[in-house]
Chains A and B, each alone.
Chain A
Amino acid sequence: MSQVASGYYAPASLRDAISLKRRLREKALFVAGGTAAVQLVSKMIAEPEAIISLEKVPLDYVKIRGNVVEIGATTPISRLLETRGLPTALREAAENIHGLALKDMATVGGNIFTPAPAGDIATALLSLDATLVLRGTRGVRTVPLSKFYRGPLKYNIKADEVLTAIRIRRPPRLSSFLKQTPWRYSGPTIASVSVGLDLDKNKKARRVMVAIGGLTTHPYRVKRAERLLTSKKLTSELIEEAAKHLVDNVDIIDDALASSWYREVIAQVLFKKILNRFI
C-alpha cells in the first residue's frame, strides 16, 4: 500500500476523497463545514495525521424531483434557506440556526454526526424518514437515518465510507419542527421536536413520524407515540395521551444546561404545540 504523507488534503472529486480515506482510514479526519470537526482538532480531542477537507467535492446541492428531495452532504444551512419547496420541518429547523457565519459554515451532512446540544437538522430529517447515501470503495449503500445511530458517537458507517447525500422520499404532507434554547437567538438545544404526518380527510393519521432531539446524544424516533396516533382521529385528548410516552425507556441528559426533568417537560410542550396545530 502506498504511503500517504500526513497533511491537509482538499480532493476535488468524491472518488479522490474516498480513495484517500481508504488509504488513511482512522488516521484521517473528514472536515466539511468545520464547526464540529475543527473543534475536535483544536481542543486536542483528536490528533489526526491527515485532514481530508470536503470543501471542493461537489456535494453542495439540493435537488427536488417529483416526490424526492435530495440534499448533498456538504450543503450549508444558508443554501437550505435559499431553497423553495423543502418540507416545512426541515425549513423550520434551518431557520432556527442563527448567526450568519454558522449558517454559512454548518453543513447538513455534518449535522447528522453532531451530538447534542446541537444536531437539530438531524431531528427534522428523522421525522421526514430520511435515508442516508453512503459511498465507499465497494460502492453505494443507503441507510435509513432511523438505523444510523448505534449509541453515543457510534454510527452505522464504515471507515472507508463517506456520507454523500440525504434523501427524503415521499415527504409527509404536513411537518413541523420546534426547539427550545436558553435564549431567543441561538444557543444550545434543551429539546427539539419534529413531527411529520399524513392525515386523511377525516383527520385520521395515516403516517406519523415523531423525532426528539436534545434529550439524548442523538435524536430518536418515538415509536410508541407514533403507534398511538396512527389511524385515529387527531384530538387534543389523543395528543395528551401520546405525549406521556415521549421518553419511555430514555436515559435523558441531565447537565448544567438543563435537568432531565426540565428537558422532558419541554419536549412534551413542544410535541403538543406542534400536533395541536394540525387538529
Chain B
Amino acid sequence: MRIKFKLDGEYVEVDAKHTDTLLKILKDKLVVGSVHFGCGEGTCGACIVLVNGRPRYSCLTLAGYVDGKEVTTVAGLAHDGELSEIQKAFLENDAAQCGYCTPGMILTAKALLDRNPSPTDEEIFDALAGNLCRCTGYVPIINAIKSLSKKR
C-alpha cells in the first residue's frame, strides 16, 4: 500500500506492507537517524515519535496508522537551525550521554509540557516511565524538564 503523511513538516510518500511498523518505515525507507530501535515492545521509548502531537511508540504503531497524519521526530523540533527550548534545556543540563534514549525523552517531555506546563516531580516520573536511560541515572533529564516547568 501507498501511505502519505507529513514528516517534520514535509509531505512524504512511501510503499509499506500492512504489517510494517512505523519504526521500520522511518528507519529503512525514510532513513530517519534519530528514531531508534531499542526493545521493539514498548518498554524503552527509544522509538517514540509524536503523531498529531501525541507520543506513540513507533515500534507498536503500524505504518498505515499515520496515513494522512503528522509525524514529528526530534529533528522536527528545531527551526531554521535553532534548537527548541526543550533541546536547549537538555543540552544545558547535560541530560544526554550516549544519546540513544534522548530523542524519545525529548519528545515525551515535549508532549508532557504541552499538556501540563508545570508538572510536579511525580508527574514527570510518571510521564517518563516508558523511557529508559541506562547512562544518566535520570537526574539531569528530570532537571532539564523541571527547568522549563512554568510556575503557576
Chain A residues at the B interface, C-beta cutoff of 8 Å:
6-8, 10, 31, 34-35, 38-39, 41-43, 47-48, 50-51, 53, 55, 98-102, 104-105, 184-186
B108 sits at the interface (CB 8 A)? yes
- Nearest-Cβ distance from residue B23 to partner chain A, whole angstroms: 9
Cβ of B45 within 8 Å of any chain A Cβ, yes or no, is yes
C-alpha gap A266/B55 in the complex (Å): 33
Closest beta carbon of chain B to A224's beta carbon, Å? 35
B117 within 8 A of A: no
Residues of A within 8 A of B54 (CB): 104
Complex Cα distance A62/B83, Å? 40
Whether A47 contacts B55 by the Cβ 8 Å rule is no
Taking each of A7, A35, A99, A185, which has the highest tally of chain B beta carbons within 10 Å of its own beta carbon? A99
Given the complex of chains A and B, what is the CA–CA distance between A50 and B62 in angstroms?
A: 12
A43 to B130, CA, bound (A): 20
Report the nearest A residue to B47, measured CB to CB.
A101
B62 and A38 contact, CB distance less than 8 A: yes
B111 to chain A, nearest CB (A): 6
Residue of B1, B61, B125 near A34 (CB, 8 A) is: B61
Min CB distance A8 to B, Å, is: 3
Give the residues in chain B near A100, CB-CB below 8 Å. Answer: 55, 108, 111-112, 127-128, 130
- Check if B90 is an interface residue, CB within 8 A of chain A: no
Number of A-B pairs, beta carbon distance below 8 Å: 94
Q: Is B42 an interface residue (CB 8 A)?
A: yes
The reply on B41 being an interface residue by CB < 8 A is yes
Residue B57 CB within 8 A of the other chain: yes
Residues of B contacting A102 with CB < 8 Å?
A: 42, 57, 129-130
What would 11 more interface pairs be, CB under 8 Å, given A98-B130, A102-B42?
A34-B65, A38-B62, A41-B62, A42-B21, A48-B18, A50-B18, A98-B126, A104-B54, A104-B55, A105-B57, A185-B126
Asked whether A186 lies within 8 Å of B61 as measured between CB atoms, the reply is: no
| Known contacts A38-B21, A47-B19; is-contact A99 B60 (Cβ 8 Å) | no
Q: A7-B1, A41-B19, A53-B65 are in contact. Are A98 and B129 (CB under 8 A)?
A: yes
Interface residue ranges, B against A (CB under 8 Å): 1, 18-19, 21, 40-42, 45, 48, 54-57, 59-65, 67, 108, 111-112, 125-131
Complex CA distance for A48 and B125, rounded to whole angstroms: 37
Q: List 17 A-B contacts (CB under 8 A).
A: A8-B1, A31-B62, A34-B65, A35-B57, A38-B60, A41-B19, A43-B40, A43-B41, A51-B19, A51-B64, A100-B112, A100-B128, A101-B48, A104-B56, A105-B57, A185-B128, A186-B130
The contact of B45 among A39, A50, A99, by CB within 8 Å, is: A99
CB B141 to nearest CB in A, in angstroms, measures 13
Instruction: Specify the chain B residue showing the minimal Cβ separation from A8.
Output: B64
Report B43 CB to chain A, min CB distance, Å: 8
Q: Contact between B130 and A51 (Cβ–Cβ < 8 Å)?
A: no
| Contact in complex: B42, A101 (CB < 8 Å) | yes
Q: Give chain A residues whose Cβ lies under 8 Å from the Cβ of B67.
A: 10
Does A35 contact B18, Cβ atoms closer than 8 Å?
A: no
Question: Smallest CB–CB gap between B56 and chain A, Å?
Answer: 6
